[in-house]
Amino acid sequence: CQQNVADSEKIKGFLAQMGFSFTEDEEEADFILFNTCAVRGHAENRVFGNVGALKDLKRRHPSLIISLCGCMMEEKQASEHIKQKFPFVNLVFGTHVLHRFPELLWTALTASRRVFERGDEQEDARIVEGLPIHRDGTTRAWLTVMYGCDNFCSYCIVPYVRGRERSREPEAILDEFRSIVADGYKDITLLGQNVNSYGKKLERPINFSQLLRMLDAVDGDYRLRFMTSHPKDATHELIDTMAEGRHICHHLHLPVQAGSNRILKEMNRGYTREKYLALVEYARKKIPDLSLTTDIIVGFPGETYEEFRETVSLVREVGFTSLFTFIYSPREGTRAARLPDPVPYEEKARWLQELCAEQEKISAERCAKEVGKTYRVLVEKQNEKDGLLCGRTDGNVIVLFEGSKELIGNFAEVKITAARNWILRGELIQ
Ligand code: SAH
Ligand code: SF4
């Protein structure tokens, strides 16, 4: 997820300060690091496969340091599994001890022992400011405003591996924000598991809308986005702030997860279908060109086909720009993992296909209306394959068009000439 991308940029910042440079070629690497995800089982299994594949490389290059970090390494059983089954892994550390990375790497390099570190409650509670950052892109930047999560949605491992919710001081965020703008980044995303509860626990409480307004007041030619917004804490004030902002994108990622009230309750999401739809209605009234995206879990334990169809009908009713869809994956230690789950995986996979087919129809209908419109596009890169420039609208939709690569990193006015599955084709008008 974006939080992991932001963490990776911090680790790269440390490495760059230590004099390392970066390569994609594992044959020439002295140090290989996997930043892992624990949200679904599929990602976890892939990690074991990828690490296992390095056994031969390590045999040929015995001085190579192989390391794993990230959410999965905060899970005791995953870290133990690595310890037992992959003796050639030198260094394993969780998200809570990321700020100690230089010390941990030094130990792995100099002491002849393997290093395994995870957080404890003290580590959980702290925010370490001032870590170096080596940003990967030149146009887009990530800025973490808060860590952890207190929501305990019944299916989700995040509160267990990322710890309790804690917000950075607004002044620290503003300083980092100003330097990102000064460095020329033009698409800046504020990150948190639930940005709408930002600041509640600070000594001088401030809410997320106030933070947004404070950042939006910084002058410059840039766009400001944020994720993730939890529907239970999204307020009218937030929507009004978006509508009034100078730089705030008309894009809202608002994960709904399911369309049935019974399933939403079982998920411990804290809102109903009706409340979600009312929020969307208010947002669309205030921001008519709003682009809405969402996350959906198909096949939560005990979900029936009829309940799943309520998700499909909600998707149709809202008309999202795009969906991030997942088949439910049981996570050990969560409440949902103990619920009876009678529907076979293959059946859930069919439901997922049904949902995606519905979204494709919705996308086609909505995309057709895009032709002829003009968008301000931030140009990110030139496609290797077809040489087309590739950029993003305010609503986070990809646009491809012909143009000179000098435009990369700048805004361009583009008229849409064709559209398919939310990839828009256009022509440069300025
Ligand atoms: N904090 C964010 C989500 C972080 S996890 C929020 O509340 O929206 C990103 C997405 O992964 C979730 O929105 C959910 O759709 C999905 N997800 C989380 N746990 C899952 C699980 N056990 N199985 C399948 N999908 C899951
Ligand atoms: Fe997980 Fe829910 Fe927290 Fe999001 S809000 S990270 S889904 S527990």
- Mean pLDDT, to the nearest integer, of 121-136? 84
- Asked whether residue 420 carries a pLDDT value surpassing 90, the answer given is no
Half-sphere exposure for 387 (CA within 13 Å, toward CB):
3
Ligand 1 pocket check for 396: Cβ under 6 Å: no
What is the mean predicted confidence (pLDDT) over 307-321? Answer: 97
pLDDT at residue 112, rounded to an integer:
79
* Encoded amino acid at 403, one letter: G
pLDDT band at residue 119 using 50, 70 and 90 as cut-offs: confident
Q: What ranges in 22-115 are assigned the alpha helix state H? A: 41-52, 55-60, 76-85, 101-110
Q: Is the CB of 39 under 6 A from ligand 1?
A: yes
List 87's β-bridge partners, or say none.
none
Distance CA 153, CA 264 (A): 9
- Sorting pLDDT into bands at 50, 70 and 90, what band is 137? confident
Residue 102: which of 87, 89, 117 has the closest Cα? Answer: 117
Confidence of residue 145 (pLDDT cuts 50, 70, 90): very high
39 alpha carbon – ligand 1 mean position (Å)? 7
- The pLDDT of residue 144 is 96
Task: Report the pLDDT value the prediction gives residue 107, as an integer from 0 to 100.
Answer: 94
Q: Is the CB of 155 under 6 A from ligand 1?
A: yes
Q: Is the pLDDT of residue 110 over 80?
A: yes
pLDDT the model gives residue 143: 97
Alpha-carbon span 148 to 159, nearest angstrom: 6
User: Which residue's CA lies nearest to atom 2 of ligand 2?
Assistant: 153
CB 36 within 8 A of CB 70: yes
State the average pLDDT over residues 219-241. 97
Unique residue bearing structure tokens 């133990």: 80
State mean pLDDT over 62-89: 94
Per-residue buried b or exposed e for 155-185, using 16+ beta carbons within 10 Å of the residue's own CB: bbbbbbbbbebbbbebeebbebbeebbeeeb
- pLDDT number for residue 142: 96
Q: Is the pLDDT of residue 124 over 90?
A: no
CA–CA dist 321, 292 (Å, integer): 6
Percent pLDDT > 90 in the chain is 91
Give yes or no for residue 421 having a pLDDT over 80. Answer: no
Query: Does position 121 have pLDDT exceeding 80, yes or no?
Result: no
Does pLDDT of 123 surpass 90?
Answer: no
Q: What percent of the chain has pLDDT over 70?
A: 99
Instruction: Please give the average per-residue pLDDT across 106-127, as a whole number.
Output: 85
Ligand 2 centroid to Cα of residue 149, in Å, is 6
- Nearest-angstrom CA–CA distance, 198 and 229: 10
The 10s digit of each residue's pLDDT in 8-51 is 999 999 999 999 999 999 999 999 999 999 999 998 899 999 99
Look at ligand 2, atom 4, and give the residue with the nearest C-alpha: 193
Residue-level pLDDT at 81? 94
Indicate whether residue 305 lines ligand 2 (CB < 6 A): no
Nearest CA to 212 out of 167, 169, 248, 254 is that of 248
